[in-house]
A and B are shown apart, each in its own frame.
Chain A
Amino acid sequence: SQKIEQNSEALNIQEGKTATLTCNYTNYSPAYLQWYRQDPGRGPVFLLLIRENEKEKRKERLKVTFDTTLKQSLFHITASQPADSATYLCALDIAGGGNKLTFGTGTQLKVEL
């Protein structure tokens, strides 16, 4: 069955380091992949979208890569700060209909001083 996998274990890193989160998916290759941030008690907030013909996308300290051969996206936060601590979710149109986003379970990131 089609699914999206994110590392369910929390990622703890030191302030200033680069955090790398992984999103893997099976079967259908989506045209777009999105990353969201979710803080406790809040809804997810959109961060970045990357298209299948884009290898890499950057926004300030964030970088996303998209490897359609490996069926994997990597999400990087450089010079991480405690304020970056949150759960990060990847989302894609795994059903192929072009209008419904399926989310991964998310990876919790904790940036320590």
Chain B
Amino acid sequence: GAGVSQSPSNKVTEKGKDVELRCDPISGHTALYWYRQSLGQGLEFLIYFQGNSAPDKSGLPSDRFSAERTGGSVSTLTIQRTQQEDSAVYLCASMRQGITNEKLFFGSGTQLSVL
């Protein structure tokens, strides 16, 4: 596809369950970012992948959160033992090279609701 694709678009889960969110970046983009946006809040950085380098995990809020990027393309964000405060929109973005004089291309996000 031409843009960043995220799935599912909506996910409703029960507290304590694990969830996986998927991101397909733009083909050829080496940098991939995950952000979280809570209702009425700004974007909170979670994790950043750049090529084969070790990911920058400095934004992950707890050890229940993890992410991987396989083959330098598709990424999966996993939240274990979900809590109600995890409810938010999870946005994925890709960038051609991963330097801040370039623009981010965002997906439409996954709306996660933890009941």
Contact = CB atoms under 8 A, between A and B. Distances in A.
B106 A30 contact: no
Interface stretch (B60-68, B69-77, B80-88, B91-99): B91-99
Interface residues of B, number: 24
A105 B42 contact: yes
Q: Lowest 6 CB-CB distances: which A-B pairs, in order?
A: A43-B106, A105-B42, A46-B103, A93-B100, A103-B43, A32-B101
Interface residues of A, number: 26
A24 B56 CA distance: 25
A34 B103 contact: yes
Interface of A: 30-32, 34, 36, 41-46, 49, 51, 89, 91-93, 98-106
Nearest to B102: A49
Given A89-B42, A100-B56, A103-B43, A42 B108 contact: yes
Contacts of B108: 41-43
Interface of B: 4, 31, 33, 35, 41-43, 45, 48, 50, 56, 91, 93, 98-101, 103-109
Contacts of A49: 101, 103
* Residue in A36, A91, A101, A103 with the greatest tally of chain B CB atoms within 10 Å: A101
